[in-house]
Amino acid sequence: MRSTNFRFEEVEPPGRLKATGSNRNAMSDFFPNLDTQYPESFGADAMIIALIGPDEDRRSAAVIALAGTRGTDVREFSFYPPGLDDVPRLLEQHYDAFIIDLDSNPEYALELVESICAKSQATVMVYSSKADPDLLVRCMRAGAREFLTMPFSKVTMAEALVRASARKPAPKADKKAGGKLLVFLGAKGGSGVTTLACNFAVALAQDSGQSTLLIDLDLPLGDAALNLGIVAEYSTVNALQDSSRLDGSFLSKLLTKHSSGLSVLAAPGKFSQFEISNQAVDKLLTVARQEFDNVVVDMGSRLDLTGTVLFKDAFTIYLITQAAITELRNSNRLISQFFNSGGPKLEIVLNRYGPRSLGVADEHITKALTRPATWKIPNDYAAVRQMQNTATPLALTDSPISRLIRQMARSVCGEPAAPPKKKGFSLFGG
């Protein structure tokens, strides 16, 4: 069977390897509990298997062993894929398992195992004529799940296929509706969008009990990761550059997990001159909403993304502004342009608010915004500076700011605001 014009896919974390066949006892020190017994009559249920073995004699021996199992459809390949770039086309056939000859070219075979494990959830098995402990460990690290040694036993082959069949993922039910899209937009740079978006996302992840993702679209200089104290290996740019092959599995590999349970798709750590297309942004947000209950987006003060689903499908857009002339003027223009004709739900967040902010009275603020502010975040410079210096989200502490941010998050879930803490008893009152 011949297959060409493939492409390379990203690496998936390796799984647990089981040593089977004549090497079972030799490998027991490395992998205990390998003695689970399966009846010889067991076989895989409707398993489609790719058998890749350049050596005809060894491949034929594998075919004979596979013939003893029921419900299998074996496709033989008499050669390795010509290059690692060729692997994805092979994966398009949706094999349930791959059985790969190690001995014909051990180094390339290991690279092939790792490449197949990049995207596919199929079980990868390898076979060899010798039980080499070092090679076994290398196979495990590459992602192989079974190490078969020759001569093959029909029983051990059946056992391996039963385990492979058990690993087949159940088909995902289509979600009737995507997760909530919650967008943070600044009326002006420096309004505090990232601080509020990060803390809101942390509070939502903790209080809602729902899966929550924060996407930093304030490119190229977004600093959500810095605010949260995390180091991300991949970034929003990686997702947007490869949007044509973006799906839930690929997205999951780009994310970084915060200790609060929040998933984060961070902006790149280095300056990246990358032109964002609306189509790529739409694809990213569509996939994200299929995978998460809540998707929080920090878009900074970018207005070039107003033609995307950020404005079309948002559950809520939080317009972050301050009680300063420039911010209020910008807010007025944004509201008039995007939110006066039945657009997405708008909630105005007045950040760094004080009763007499910059000498602007509340009635003048409301008039400038054409409506009252939904949320008024108190001005606490010391608390925000402490958060930035320690990378500890405000939402994980107790302060007037954190309590209001948590109230914002709870409102998304339709939950009432948390009751204020009762003061402790004091002999001196107060």
Q: What is the pLDDT of residues 66-76, one digit of tens each?
A: 886 777 788 89
pLDDT at 279 over 70: yes
Say how far apart CA 200 and CA 211 lie, in whole Å: 14
Residues near 177 by beta carbon (within 8 Å), at least 6 away in sequence: none
Residues 309, 238 share a domain = yes
Residues 197 and 276 in one domain: yes
- The parent domain of residue 252 ranges over 180-412
- So what's the pLDDT on residue 172? 52
Answer yes or no: is 7 within a domain. Answer: no
Looking at residue 31, what is its pLDDT? 32
pLDDT for the residue 343:
64
299 belongs to a structural domain: yes
H-helix or E-strand spanning residue 385: helix 381-390
Distance CA 235, CA 224 (A): 11
Domain with 210 in it: what CATH number? 3.40.50.300
Q: Write the single-letter amino acid at 419.
A: P
Segment among 128-132, 319-323, 390-394 with least mean pLDDT: 390-394
Per the model's pLDDT, the better-predicted residue between 262 and 326 turns out to be 262
Task: Write down the residue that tokens 């729902």 correspond to.
Answer: 210
Residue 405 belongs to a domain: yes
pLDDT tens for 37-54 read 333 333 334 678 899 999
Would you list the DSSP string of 315-339? SEEEEEE-SSHHHHHHHHHHHHHHS
d(C-alpha 87, C-alpha 107), whole Å: 16
Average pLDDT over residues 312-325: 89
pLDDT tops 60 at residue 258: yes
**Least-confidence region, from 163-172, 320-329, 343-352, 376-385:** 163-172
Residue 80: per-residue pLDDT: 92
Please report the pLDDT score of residue 202 as a whole number: 93
Classify residue 38: in a domain, yes or no: yes
pLDDT value at residue 23: 38
In a shared domain, residues 159 and 249 = no
Residues in contact with 210: Cβ distance below 8 Å, sequence separation at least 6, in sequence order:
204, 293, 294, 413
- Which pLDDT score, from 0 to 100, does residue 418 have? 55
On the question of pLDDT at 26 being above 60, the answer is no
Is residue 318 a contact partner of residue 235, using CB atoms and an 8 Å limit? Answer: no
With respect to residue 229, please indicate whether it lies within any of the assigned structural domains.
yes
Whether residues 150 and 212 fall in one domain: no
Domain boundary among 122, 145, 167: 167
* 286 falls within a domain: yes
Domain count, the chain: 2
pLDDT for residue 416: 59
361 and 218 co-located in one domain: yes
The average pLDDT across 253-277 equals 86
Beta strands 263-265; 256-257: pairing state: antiparallel
pLDDT of residue 68: 67
Residue at 419 is within a domain: no
- With tokens 């958060």, the residue in question is 387
Are 148 and 203 members of one domain? no
Domain boundary residue, one of 142, 167, 192? 167
Residues 221 and 118 in one domain: no
pLDDT at 424 over 60: no
The answer on 121 and 86 residing in a single domain is: yes
pLDDT digits (tens, 9 = 90+) for 118-156: 667 889 999 999 888 888 989 988 889 999 999 988 888
Contact assessment for residue 68 and residue 92, using Cβ atoms and an 8 Å cutoff: no
- Over residues 190-249, the pLDDT tens digits come to 888 999 999 999 999 988 889 999 999 988 888 888 888 888 888 999 899 888 888 888
Residue 385 has pLDDT above 80, yes or no: no
In this structure, are 190 and 160 located in the same domain?
no
- Reference 185, options 317, 343, 353; nearest CA is 317
The tokens describing 307, both together, are 């033609």
* pLDDT given for residue 255 in this prediction: 93
Q: Indicate whether 265 and 229 sit together in one domain.
A: yes
Higher pLDDT among residues 359 and 104, named by residue: 104
- CA separation, residue 240 to residues 6, 167, 280, 283 (Å): 22, 31, 5, 8
The residues that bridge with 317 in the sheet, in sequence order, are 183, 346
Residue 362 pLDDT > 80, yes or no?
A: no
Residues 91 and 198 in one domain: no
Task: Identify the weakest region by mean pLDDT among 26-30, 61-65, 137-141, 317-321.
Answer: 26-30
- 113: domain CATH number is 3.40.50.2300
**CB contact burial 221-242 (16+ within 10 A = b; e otherwise):** ebbbbbbbebebebbbbbbbee
- The pLDDT of residue 295 is above 90: yes
> Quick check: 357 and 368 in contact, CB under 8 A?
no
The predicted model gives 284-304 an average pLDDT of: 92
Query: Residue 177 pLDDT more than 80?
Result: no
Rounded distance, CA 77 to CA 54, Å? 7
pLDDT confidence of 9, banded at 50, 70, 90? Answer: very low
* Higher pLDDT pick, 193 / 7: 193
Report the percent of the chain where pLDDT is more than 70.
80
Report residue 135: phi and psi, to 5°. Answer: -65, -35
pLDDT score recorded for residue 33: 35
Establish if 422 belongs to a structural domain.
no
363/387: higher pLDDT: 363
Q: Taking 80 as the threshold, does the pLDDT of residue 5 lie above it?
A: no
Last residue of a domain, one of 167, 192, 212: 167
Of residues 71 and 343, more confidently modeled: 71
